Copies of this chain bind each other. A is one copy, B any other.
Amino acid sequence: MKQPRLDERKAYILATVVYEYVATAEPVASQTLTQKYNLGISSATVRNEMAELEAEGYLVQPHTSAGRVPSDSGYRTYVDELMQPEALSAADRRRIRDDLRDASRELDELVDQTTRLLGRLSKSLAFVTKPQSETQLFKHIQLISIAPRTGIAIVVTSFGVSAQSLFELGSDVSADDLTRLSSAFNARFANRAIDEIGESEIAAVVAELGLTDDLRGAITTAMQSARSGEIPEIASAGAQNLLDQPEFSDVRKLRSILRIVEEQRTLYDIVADAMNSENPRVKIGRELGNEELADLSVVTVPYRFGPHAIGMLSILGPRRMPYARLLALASGTAESLSQRLADADV
């Protein structure tokens, strides 16, 4: 179907159709092309080419007497082969820098803030996965008594506090014992990768100090939730931007999206296969694997902590999105975020 590599002229026409459609949101006609972009050929020739591009699956016609619109595979070819990469505009670069300069030093908030920034700049919906614990190093655990038989266990990792959980005990335990236990753990496990610390090792330490099994449970739970193999949290922002897009004049579309954003699950599925990979990804329309998102696209780029990608930063918008610009924007933002994390010098 689309075996034959596009010859240069066809490629240029396809690229131009995508470009024009992204700009105007109107199906693009053969005349528009010849008038606004000076290809040296007549509209009739363009019509012939477009008919072939349609037969090959790159374009579609909303109805017989309308202009052409790119299909998923039209966009795909555009993104993979035709578009000119863009650099981040100076204005955007400055806004990112200014905005993140006085951002919080706390990881969670820093990510939230970055997400909002990206939503604003992209005028789309932005979502960012928070780092999962796997790559984190255990730094410190602290058991604190806050009422006779109730305490709180706090696990600190190389990114800052990553879990806290309340626990109740069957019998009183002295504050002193809690401190001794905390210290023993810290001495033993500091700077180990958190997911390497096994339940048996934990039990061993508790037993050594002759403390109750209750405590072992409490600690295991806290460590568990610090490394929770579950879905990472996902921050999102900018849903309202989507409303400006003509494709959302139909309210039902929007409903699916709002629901999807609220259940983080589907968002996660979208980025899961790109998770912590090193390269930007673009998913277009049906590639998202969800019929409700069929006319949307997502660009996803990683952000790093030191040498490792620890989370993904994504922009969700209409399929008709300015791919090059958003890729530059997402990359730039990811870059700044990574920089900011490195500065914290943890």
Chain A residues close to B by CB (< 8 Å): 105-106, 116, 139-140, 142, 144, 146-147, 150, 152, 154, 156, 158, 160-161, 164-166, 168, 237-240, 243-244, 248-249, 251-252, 254-255, 258-259, 262, 344-346
Contact = CB atoms under 8 A, between A and B. Distances in A.
Contact of A166 (B105, B238, B249): B105
A160 B156 contact: no
Nearest to A240: B258
A248 B254 CA distance: 12
A344 B166 contact: yes
Given A147-B345, A243-B251, A142 B160 contact: no
Contacts of A258: 239-240, 243
Contacts of A244: 255
A147 B346 contact: yes
A158 B242 CA distance: 41
A262 B237 contact: yes
A173 to B, nearest CB: 16
B166 A164 contact: no
B146 A156 contact: yes
A243 B262 contact: no
Residue in A146, A239, A252 whose Cβ sees the most chain B Cβ within 10 Å: A146
A338 to B, nearest CB: 16
B251 A150 contact: no
Contacts of A255: 240, 243-244
The 9 closest A-B pairs by CB, nearest first: A240-B258, A105-B166, A243-B255, A161-B164, A240-B259, A140-B144, A139-B146, A240-B255, A142-B142
Given A240-B262, A243-B251, A251-B248, A161 B152 contact: yes
Given A142-B144, A154-B154, A161-B161, 16 more contacts: A105-B165, A106-B165, A139-B146, A142-B142, A150-B345, A152-B156, A152-B160, A152-B161, A161-B164, A168-B345, A239-B258, A240-B254, A240-B255, A240-B259, A243-B258, A251-B251
A243 B256 CA distance: 10
5 contacts: A106-B165, A146-B156, A161-B164, A237-B262, A244-B255
A113 to B, nearest CB: 13
A158 B140 CA distance: 21
A293 to B, nearest CB: 14
A262 B238 CA distance: 8
A239 B251 CA distance: 13
A233 to B, nearest CB: 10
A154 B139 contact: no
Contacts of A150: 344-346
Contacts of A252: 243
A166 to B, nearest CB: 4
A296 to B, nearest CB: 16
B251 A166 contact: no
Contact of A154 (B156, B166, B240, B249): B156
Nearest to A238: B262
Contacts of A166: 105-106, 160, 344, 346
Nearest to A257: B240
A172 to B, nearest CB: 14
